[in-house]
Amino acid sequence: MKKALITGISGQDGSYLSEYLISLGYEVHGVVRRHSVAENQNCRLHHLNGEINTHYGDLLDIPSLTRIISEVKPDEIYNLAAMSHVRISFDIPSFTIQTNALGVLNLLEVYKSIVPEAKFYQASSSEMFGNSVDEDGVQSLTTPMKPVSPYGCAKLLGFNLVRHYRHAYKLHACNGILFNHESPRRGSNFVTNKVVKTAVEIKKGLRDKLELGNLDSYRDWGHSKDYVRAMHMIINHETPDEWIVATGKTHSVRDLCETVFSKLDMDYRDYVVQNPKFMRPEELKYLKGESQKTRDVLGWQPEYTFESMLEEMIQRWMREIQIDQQEK
């Protein structure tokens, strides 16, 4: 039985990846950080109790990483842990750089020292491109990377560290450059779930407006379930490399609002207002990924559409809010 170690296992991608690997017969281990509120620790993992093994640790704590990897001896390591909110990275840039860059270095060092025969996957990000766009209107593996946020800068350093360690130490270490991907498990402070949750609350009479930042930012949005399948394909390809995972379709935040509110028989223009506090100091305007290599070589294809992903998210919040109202 193969063993997988997932950092960031309690996040959106970590929980879906755990489910997927369990379905393939893996023994799944995860690194979790201790929270002072116990209920927040593994809220996305409750349904997997008894099927996964969690270990307290932190990417910035080398002794904990050494202990965990020595005990588990994983065949595959998926580094999904990060300070993942781009807007907030402007407020806590030092912590972002430490976690998303120095944390990668720490994990690579422990991996190299203890299980160099294992395979390593790094969750890289489309935010590394910044506002660079190819002539054909996409970001590809040859597009210059010029990040415009502390988050993107940190992710780019982590990306390059993985490439360096692969070449310098002959490790099976690979990068998956994932464009935006969402799900019902996405944190509600991320724009997709914020829009969906608030729209449902407005529909239920619990709120009267939705405050957002830039409505004309364009993103390539996919579903986390599709993207964790790609992670497994990437790490198990015979040659470690860089890969882009994206739908190849782009939508603005305005499109997102229009789609979600119309599904609830409302006009977003009656409820959505812009608030400068949600604007980034430097905006990333447009993302659209070119993932042909991933599709051709690995055979990956997304199963969700933009609309079916949002419909699933809407149905989740309709159920959640109905339950909350019944309990009050």
Does the active-site annotation cover 127? yes
Does the active-site annotation cover 125? yes
Q: How far apart are the first and last CA of the chain?
A: 47
d(CA 59, CA 66): 10
Question: Side chain identity at 50, as an amino acid letter?
Answer: G
Catalytic residue among 16, 151, 165, 286: 151
Residue 91 has phi, psi (to 5 degrees) of -85, -30
Beta strands at 222-223 and 27-32: parallel, antiparallel or unpaired: unpaired
* Interacting residues of 199 by C-beta distance below 8 A, sequence separation 6+: 210, 257, 260, 261, 264, 266, 268, 271, 314
Does the active-site annotation cover 151? yes
* Interacting residues of 133 by C-beta distance below 8 A, sequence separation 6+: 139, 143, 286, 288
Catalytic residue among 18, 125, 149, 183: 125
DSSP of 88-156: HHTTSHHHHHIIIIIHHHHHHHHHHHH-TTSEEEEEEEGGGGBT---TTS-B-TTS--B--SHHHHHHH
Query: How many CA atoms lie less than 13 Å away from 155 in the CB half-sphere?
Result: 30
Catalytic residue among 76, 127, 182, 290: 127
Please give the positions annotated as active site. Answer: 125, 127, 151
